[in-house]
Amino acid sequence: MKLLKRFTVLLAVAVLCGGAAVRAYELPNAFWAMNDEYIRAVEARDNEKIIDSAARLIALIENEPESGQINEIMGSRLDQMGLAYERTGDFAAAGRCYQRYLPYARACGWTDGVKIAEAKALQYASEISVYTAEKQSGGGVLFGSNFDGQARREVPGESMVLAYLEFGEPDLTWIPQVLEDAQAQGAAVELALNLPGEGTQLASVRQSGAYIARLLDITAAHDTDVFLRFAAEVNVWTRAADPEEFIDAFRFVADLARARTANTKMVWSVNQVSRWGVDMNDYYPGDAYVDYVGVSCYMRRYFLGRNDWSEEERFNEVVFLAGHSADPARALREVVSRYGERKPIIIAEGGASHYSAALREDTTEWAIAKLRRLYWYVPMVYPQVKLIAYFDRTMAGEADDFSLSSAPRMAAAYRELTEADHFKGAVRYQRLDDTPEIQQKPQTLYAYVHVYGHDALTADYFVDGAAAGSASEVPFGVQIDFGKYPLGAHTLRVAVKDGGGNVLYEKTYGVTITERGVTVTLGGKELLFDTAPLLVNGRTLVPMRAIYEALGARVEWDDATQTVTARRGGTVITMRIGDYVITKNGAPIVLDVAPNLYGDRTLAPVRAVSETLDAAVGWDDALRKVSITP
């Protein structure tokens, strides 16, 4: 990990650009007096004058023809302006400066400056994103922790366990028990196969085929999903790996896993931020060899256990995601943006530090706040994330303690947070920025909020200018009865304020209130679907398989003929996609709307349920609700 002391270097660049070397170029005459004023302000660390003089210089020359000199002047002034805004606490303005700085820095080849500015621009930019939640069934984000941790024994329903194995360790006798225990509770297993020798051990992987095969034969013998995370965090290895050698070793293991198992998925996993000068993508083995992309996501109150960073060094906290920069939704953005459209993502290990061993400081309150962000915001903001594994272990000699087992309040927060509906597969989130529609019914809205430098925030919601709700804890959920608003266009404003009531950031949406969706109850209990019911030509179409199975029927699908067959007792029902005629024990029943495929689910008219499985079906037009009574 590379640490830099940056201010003095950039100050030298700034002064150089105002010296004799600059005067050889043709710049506006007004530049020189302004530039002298700017240099005096920088040398005096006068933030107000730095911001004012830099802004006037930038306005004077930003439309000059591009040149190396113009790029250097613009880049250095924007950088110093950003630093001045930081010192005054106006991080949003600083972030805008760094965003403007980036093209000039890239043109100048300032690679270190680019890395720093990219991190600051990301972290300093304020954001509000509002989400709605719709009930569904199926799926859900897997969650769990170390198989040998104590805290998990008090957490019902963990859907995965995490186990570590050092590559080459001869004793594999404990692994079958881990797999059997996971299988018994219906959980998946993440098996982290680490290379303790890092880059120096890669050469031995191809010579260890028998060892890898023995391990894979163990995983194949158990009926549980196994996520095999091989050689993780290569982008932060101390003993660096040659990219080609790493890729060759990963592909070798992946080929063996495909050949010997049906239940083992390969996980290529990196740290959330790379070592200085390392590009994680150089080590990507290719889509054909990777089933899941993993990422380690750790939140630390202090970078390297220090709270005494000088101003020249403090940017390291931003780059390496500590303190106010430990927002998991922002920390994951690089990995998700690079790989999220190609592969599902897992948080292969992670945690929030509740104790700084280096400073002997309890940081539990801070850690619980970050834990809320991890377990609420990651499933909400990133539907690509399918698993979150917590590192429940205290490591001797480490600067931070992430364990749940050693911190009862952390363990209690973990238990509470993992009870959220997204871990049960009971909800799906829709971002209003993508689909600015809200159904005309009571709805809970949630807000992803990021305002750098502020932890205690309140989000106030306004509909058409009138107060509609307020929340002061992540994920800032409020229930608003949109049933009382007419259909059509409205405004939704969310304002985020600090503990003193000062509005720090706000966002206004133009939204459309639409008719509420169709709900289905069976025997008075609402059914949840992974595909929503639809109204087509005045007829209600419902997810056929889910309802038939809820009524006790066994459903089969023939892809070749696009035919569904349902059996219950002595009753056999068949229906074919696009065909208006279904059969019950061979007798035809003609429907006015044919069954059809929506996504990969068959939706059939609700009448097909009533006439084939002898159920009474009612419709409440005001509530848009189908009631099925067996």
Q: Could you say which DSSP state residue 300 is in?
A: B
pLDDT of residue 1: 43
User: Whole-prediction pTM value?
Assistant: 0.86
Helix (H, G, I), strand (E, B) or coil at 327: coil
Residues 70 and 145 in one domain: no
Per-residue confidence (pLDDT) for residue 559, from 0 to 100: 86
Hey, what are 494's tokens?
Answer: 């969310």
| Res 629 pLDDT > 70 | yes
CA distance 230 to 342: 19
Q: Is 42 among the domain residues?
A: yes
Confidence tier at 25 by pLDDT (50, 70, 90): low
CA atoms of 523 and 538, how far apart (whole Å): 24
CB 356 within 8 A of CB 363: yes
The percent of residues in the chain predicted with pLDDT above 90, rounded, is 74
HEC sequence for 516-535: CCCEEEECCEECCCCCCCEE
Phi, psi for residue 427 in degrees, rounded to 5: -140, 160
Q: Where are the alpha helices (DSSP H) in 221-372?
A: 243-260, 315-319, 328-331, 333-339, 364-372
Question: What are the residues whose beta carbons fall under 8 Å from the beta carbon of 370, sequence distance 6 or more?
Answer: 299, 326, 327, 328, 352
Which residues span the domain enclosing 442? Answer: 432-514
Distance in angstroms (rounded) separating the CA atoms of residues 513 and 114: 43
Do 483 and 399 share a structural domain? Answer: no
In 384-473 the beta strands, taken as DSSP E runs, fall at 385-390, 400-401, 427-431, 437-439, 442-450, 458-463, 466-471
Residues 285, 193, single domain; the answer is yes
**End residue of a domain, out of 460, 486, 514:** 514
240 and 321 share one domain: yes
CB 522 within 8 A of CB 495: no
- Residue 586 placed within a domain: yes
pLDDT of residue 71: 95
- Strands in 44-184 per DSSP E: 127-135, 142-146, 160-166
pLDDT of residue 381: 97
Q: Are residues 159 and 95 in the same domain?
A: no
**Whether residues 261 and 285 fall in one domain:** yes
Q: Decide if 1 is inside a domain.
A: no
Asked if 279 and 190 sit in the same domain, the reply is yes
Domain count of the fold of the chain = 4
Band the pLDDT of 621: cuts 50, 70, 90. confident
In a domain, 2, yes or no: no
